[in-house]
Amino acid sequence: RKFLGYINHKKIQATNRNCEVTVDVRHDGSEPLVDVMFADGERLIMKGANLTTVEMLTALGSRCNAKELKEEKKSKRKSP
């Protein structure tokens, strides 16, 4: 829940208008799970029972940073 609170904060949402957050809350006793689907089709699945909020935010941030670097390298190769 804390992770979701941070992700849905106005300042965080303002950094990426293309980010869509969909929530599926279940009360069936299953383990908390965060499933992130990126625009390129890649997924990041984090099991909340084994991670802290900070670890989840760090994992998401590092994956996003890696994707940004990859895109920057790709665009530098294309531009003359």
Exposed / middle / buried, residue 4 (Cβ in 10 Å: 0-12, 13-18, 19+): middle
Give the chain's domains with CATH numbers. 1-60 (3.40.30.10)
Task: Using alpha carbons only, give the angle 8, 45, 36 rounded to the nearest 5 degrees.
Answer: 40
pLDDT of residue 80: 60
Digits of tens for pLDDT over the chain (80 positions)?
Answer: 888 888 888 888 788 777 778 888 888 888 888 888 888 889 999 988 889 999 999 999 899 889 888 888 888 776 66
pLDDT of residue 56: 92
